[in-house]
Amino acid sequence: MKKYMMKTARGGTAAGTVYRIRENCGCRNRRPESPEYETGLLKKAAEQLRLELSDSANRATGESRSILEAEIMMLTDPSFLSTACEMVKNGDMTAEQAIIQTGIVMKERFSGVSDRYMLSRTDDITGLVENILRMIRGEHREKLEKPSLIAAIQLSPACISRLDLGMIQGIVTEKGSPVSHVSILAGDCGIPYIYGSAEAVAAINNGDRIIIDDGTLIVDPDDETYSAALEKMSRSARREAPPTEAPECSRTPVFANAGSLNDLRAAVRQGADGIGLFRTEFMFLDREDEPPEEEQYGIYREAASIMGDRKTVIRTMDIGSDKRTAWLQLPDEKNPALGFRGIRVSLDHEHIFRKQLRAIMRAAVHGNFRILLPVITSVWEVNEALRIINDCERELTESGIPCKKPGVGVMIETPAAAMIAPELAEIVDFFSIGTNDLTQYTLAIDHEEESLDRHYDPCHEAVFRMISLVCRAAHKQGITVSVCGELAGSEAAIPRLIRSGVDELSVSSSKIGRTRTNAAAAEKELITACIGTDIASPADGRLVLMEDIPDKTFAAGILGRCFGIVPSNGTVYSPITGTVTMIAESKHSFSVENEEESILVHVGIDTVKLGGRGFEFRVAKGDPVEAGQPVMDADLDFIKKAGLSTMMIVVRCS
Ligand code: PEP
Ligand code: MG
C-alpha cells in the first residue's frame, strides 16, 4: 500500500480498479519530455498504427486494401521512424512536432518529381502523419468494460468524451488543472479528480486497485482500507442522490450547464430552471466524421422533449483550443487558446455552422431555445453570424421546413467583448458571461496550465469589474446577463455576482441545490444591506441597489430605505407576515405591517398613471398575510407597452 498527496481538481472519494489511458491522450501544445520518453511515444504510436492498419487491411479488399498496404509500407520504411527519432534526440522537440517535421522532409523528397503517381504519395504522407499524430494523442477509441478509475499522464476533453462517463468512478492524472474542461466535465458528473504527481501516476498500472480520497491517492490499499473507502463512496453517492427536500429558493434563477442529453435529464431531475449553457461541441468531439444536420436535429429535438418549456440556451460549437476533433482538422497552433476556436471556426467553416443552425432552428419549433455564440471579440463577427442565422431561417422557410428563430446571445468571455458590451447589447438578445475564459484571457493565464494555479484567481478584481461593466451595459439595453462559467457556482463569488446585477446563474447540475441556497443567502444579505432588515423579496428577479433605482425620490431614500427588483414575472408576494394596511386607489402599490415593520411595495415606476389597469389583487385591505404569500398579479407586458418601467420598489417605512 502506497500513499501519495496530490492536488484536488474535484473532491470526493472513489475506490476501484484502474483503467490506464494511453499517454498524453489528445493533448496538444505540450513541452518536450526526455528524448527517451518522446522516442517511446513515437515507437509505440507507430506500432499501434501498424496493428490498426494491418487489421483493417486484412478485412479490406481491392483498391482499399492496396491503399492500406501502401500506408503500412511507408510506415515500416526504417528511414521514416528513424528520421523522427533523430529529431527528438536533442530534447527540444515533442514526438508530435517530430512527426510533422518528418512528413515535411519526406514530402520535399517527392516535390521535385514530375511523375503523377509519385506526386500522389505526398497525400499519403499527409494521411500517415495525421494517423500517427492521432495515435500519439490517443485519439482512438478507448473502451471501458466496467466501472473504473482512469489514470493518465494528461487527458483532453476529446479523450474523455470518447469514454462512457457513467463508467468513470474517478480520475488521476499527472498534469491537470482544477479549471480545465476535463475538470469541468468531471465536476458535472460528480467524478472525483486528482492530479499533480508524476511519481504517483507512474506507480499505477492497468488493473491496479486504488483509492482517491480528496487529495490523497492510495495505490494497492489493504483490504480494510479498501472496504472503508468503498463504504465512504457509497455514503456520498447516497448524499448526492436527487434532492428530496427543496433547497432554499432564490429569486435568482439557477440554470444548469450541460454537454449531453444525459446532462439535460440530470438538470431536470435536480430541478434546474432550464439550461443556461448547452456545450454542443462535447457531443461531437469523439467522432471521425462531421455530424450531419439530421443527426444534430435528432439531438436538439430530443433536448426540446426533455426540457419542455424550460429555457434552453444552445451554444453553437466551440471547437478549437483544447477541444479538438478528428473530423475538423485545425492548424497546429503555437497558442491554440489564442487561435482558431468558437465563432472564428464557425465563420471560417460556414457550411458546418449552417448545418448546426438549421438543426437548432428546426428543433426550436418544439422547445424554448436560445442560440449562444462563443468566443466573440468584435461586433462584425456577431453581425456576420446574425446574417447567417437569418439566411438559414429564410432558406428553411422558403423550403417549407417548419422552423423558429430563437433569441440570439453572445458569450462574454474575452476582455474585448466585455469592453464593447454596450455595442454588443444593441444587437443581441442576451449575454452569458463565460468566466473560465474571461479569467484566462484577462489574467493572461492558460487555464490548463497547472504550474500557474497560484496566479489563476477567478475572483480577481479585474474580472469582477468587467462583470459589473457588462451588467450595466446589458441592463441599459434591457437585456439579461447570465454567468455560466465555474464562478457561478462559487460560494465566495455568488454574493458579488448578485450585487453586480447578474440576472441568472448557470452551474453543473450537481451544484444546483447549493447554488440556490448560496444565492438566497446572498439576496438576503443584499436586502439587509439595503434596508437594514431581513425580509422576503416580493418578486422573482434581479435585485437593484437603492442608488441604482431610476427614480430620484426612491434613489435618494426620501420615502425610506429601499431596494428595487426587476421582476421576471408578474406575481407579487407579501414581503413579511402581517396585515395589508394599504392598497392604493390606482392599485399599483400596497403596504404590509406587523409590530416591527411597515413595508411598502410599489409596482413599476410612475404606474399611478395607469389608473389601476394592469393590476389585480388577490387580497383585500385588512387581510392577514404570510411572508411569501402571493398578494397581487401585475401585467408586466401591459406596463411595458405603456412605456413604463416594471421595476418594483420595496420601501421600509418604519
Ligand atoms: C467559459 O469560458 O466560462 C465557458 C463557460 O465556456 P467553456 O468553459 O465551455 O469554454
Ligand atoms: Mg469559454
φ and ψ of 399, to 5 deg? -85, 5
pLDDT of residue 340: 92
Q: Containing H/E element for 506?
A: strand 504-508
Q: What is the mean pLDDT of residues 298-326?
A: 94
Percent of the chain beyond pLDDT 70? 93
Res 540 pLDDT > 70: yes
Nearest CA to ligand 1 atom 6: 434
pLDDT of residue 247: 53
Ligand 1 pocket, residue 436 CB under 6 Å = yes
The rounded Å distance from CA 317 to ligand 1 centre is 12
Q: Which three cell numbers stand for residue 601?
A: 411595495
Q: Containing H/E element for 56?
A: helix 35-59
Percent of the chain beyond pLDDT 90? 64
Q: Containing H/E element for 633?
A: strand 630-634
Pocket test for ligand 1, best of 281, 413, 438 (most atoms within 8 A of CB): 413
The answer to whether 366 is a known catalytic residue is no
- Rounded Cα gap, residues 38 and 97, in angstroms: 10
pLDDT of residue 380: 98
Decide: helix, strand or coil at residue 51. helix
- Rounded Cα gap, residues 551 and 235, in angstroms: 53
Q: Which of 27, 392, 484, 562 is catalytic?
A: 484
Q: Which of 181, 447, 475, 602 is catalytic?
A: 181
Please state the CATH superfamily assignment of the domain spanning residues 246-529 in this structure: Phosphoenolpyruvate-binding domains (3.20.20.60)
Ligand 1 pocket, residue 341 CB under 6 Å = no
Res 130 pLDDT > 90: no
Closest CA to 321 of 279, 360, 352: 279
Domain boundaries, the chain: 2-236, 246-529, 541-652
Q: What is the mean pLDDT of residues 252-279?
A: 95
Atom of ligand 1 nearest to the CA of 434: 3
- Rounded Cα gap, residues 169 and 18, in angstroms: 10
The rounded Å distance from CA 313 to ligand 2 centre is 14
Pocket test for ligand 1, best of 484, 486, 506, 508 (most atoms within 8 A of CB): 484
- Rounded Cα gap, residues 531 and 546, in angstroms: 9
The answer to whether 85 is a known catalytic residue is no
Contact 653, 596 (CB under 8 A): no
Provide the mean pLDDT of the chain: 89
The rounded Å distance from CA 361 to ligand 2 centre is 23
pLDDT of residue 565: 94
Res 638 pLDDT > 80: yes
Q: Write out pLDDT tens, residues 182-238.
A: 888 888 788 999 999 999 999 998 899 999 998 899 999 999 999 999 998 887 765
* Positive or negative: CA dihedral 192, 197, 201, 203: negative
User: What is the domain class of 541-652 according to CATH?
Assistant: mainly beta
**406, amino acid identity:** P
Query: Do the two domains 246-529 and 541-652 of this chain adopt the same fold?
Result: no
| CATH for the 2-236 domain, from 3.30.70.240, 1.10.340.70, 3.30.350.10, 3.50.30.10 | 3.50.30.10
